């Protein structure tokens, strides 16, 4: 098997774990408050990241005061904001809806870069944004969607914005930080940021606490740690533009798993929404590949 094919398989596995975070978060939302769950996720993942850094001989970076502030902001806005909003949203809306909305992340990140960084977009990016928006509207405007589901969808989109800000902030670091070190730092700062809010949250006393704990353990060890390892094992074997195409696996896997593991009904609107998001993300990735191959 060629190294490129191995890279593709690693990237598919990584994005499938991203899709599975929606299922895990849906289970967590039924049995645990969001900040408590997020703190437990970080507490489980942090020792594993530290062990991997020790075993691989990696060291923490030497950063300026400004860059340290940006890393803390990444942890609070990206990791904590993303996870807590995802769990909160999934207490009100379906995992299938959330999976489609989360799938718009590459397109939302491109839009944020245009608005806040002043990047000059290729014409195809505007088309990708419009198609992705159509996919989100397909699920928001479902006839059977109630007010609570709409609020849940808005919270999920807020989670996507937080993750988009994480990517944006990373571009502003003066000193590039190796991905493993960045994940370790963000996990540590995220845990610290969650401690006080978690202590103030009302704790659940339902029968769903035990499944929630298992789901948190899964989230911490599989998508957070294994998903990270899969992604960078794949990204080392293919170009960045090629890797971006595989982010389209996440919404498909989330919708399929919502039907298989949670028994959710997958409607025509979900199929249409997933299709629009797929077209948008694939179009964005293929546009990037063509741009990289075009002579300067």
Judge whether 252 and 19 are in contact, CB under 8 Å: yes
- Please, which residues have CB within 8 angstroms of residue 224's CB and are 6 or more apart in sequence? 41, 45, 187
Integer angstrom CA distances of residue 55 from 58, 95, 153, 235, 236: 8, 36, 41, 21, 19
What pLDDT sits at residue 294?
60
Residue 174: DSSP 8-state: S
* Cβ(77)–Cβ(166) below 8 Å: yes
d(C-alpha 1, C-alpha 10), whole Å = 13
pTM, entire model = 0.92
Dihedral, 98, 104, 109, 114 alpha carbons, nearest 10: -130
pLDDT at residue number 206: 67
How confident is the model at residue 28, as a pLDDT? Answer: 95
Distance CA 142, CA 8 (A): 34
Output the tens digit of pLDDT for each of the chain's 296 residues: 788 889 989 999 999 999 999 999 999 999 899 999 999 999 999 999 999 999 999 998 899 999 999 999 999 988 999 999 999 999 999 999 999 999 998 888 888 888 877 777 677 778 888 888 888 888 877 766 666 688 999 999 999 999 988 888 888 889 889 999 999 999 999 999 999 999 999 876 566 788 999 999 999 999 999 999 999 899 888 877 678 788 889 999 999 999 999 999 998 889 999 999 999 888 888 777 776 666 54
The DSSP element (H or E) to which 221 belongs, if any, is none
H-helix or E-strand containing 88? helix 81-90
How much is the pLDDT for 33?
93
Give the pLDDT confidence score for residue 110 in this predicted structure.
Answer: 84
CA 14, 275, 278, 95 dihedral sign is negative
Give Cα separations from 60 to 52, 77, 101, 186, 232 (angstroms).
12, 21, 34, 12, 18
Question: 3-state DSSP call for residue 155?
Answer: helix
């Amino acid at each position: 098997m060629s190294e490129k094919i191995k890279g593709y398989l690693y990237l598919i596995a990584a994005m499938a774990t991203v899709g599975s975070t929606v299922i895990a978060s849906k289970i967590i939302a039924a049995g645990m408050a969001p900040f408590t769950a997020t703190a437990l996720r970080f507490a489980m993942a942090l020792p594993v990241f530290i062990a991997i850094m020790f075993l691989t001989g990696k060291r923490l970076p030497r950063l300026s005061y400004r860059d340290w502030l940006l890393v803390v902001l990444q942890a609070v806005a990206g990791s904590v904001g993303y996870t807590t909003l995802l769990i909160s949203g999934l207490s009100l809306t379906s995992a299938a809806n959330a999976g489609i909305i989360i799938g718009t992340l590459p397109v939302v990140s491109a839009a944020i870069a245009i608005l806040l960084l002043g990047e000059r977009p290729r014409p195809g990016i505007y088309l990708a944004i419009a198609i992705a928006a159509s996919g989100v509207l397909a699920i928001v405007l479902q006839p059977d969607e109630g007010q609570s589901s709409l609020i849940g969808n808005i919270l999920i989109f807020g989670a996507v914005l937080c993750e988009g800000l994480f990517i944006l902030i990373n571009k502003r670091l003066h000193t590039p930080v190796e991905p493993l070190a960045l994940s370790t730092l963000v996990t540590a700062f995220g845990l610290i940021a969650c401690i006080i809010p978690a202590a103030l949250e009302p704790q659940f006393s339902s029968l769903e606490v035990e499944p929630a704990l298992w789901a948190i353990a899964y989230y911490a060890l599989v998508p957070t740690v294994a998903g990270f390892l899969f992604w960078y094992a794949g990204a080392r074997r293919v170009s960045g533009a090629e890797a971006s195409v595989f982010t389209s696996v996440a919404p498909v896997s989330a919708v399929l798993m919502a039907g298989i593991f949670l028994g959710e009904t997958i409607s025509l609107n979900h199929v249409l929404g997933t299709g629009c998001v797929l077209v948008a993300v694939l179009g964005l990735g293929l546009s990037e590949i063509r741009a990289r191959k075009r002579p300067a």
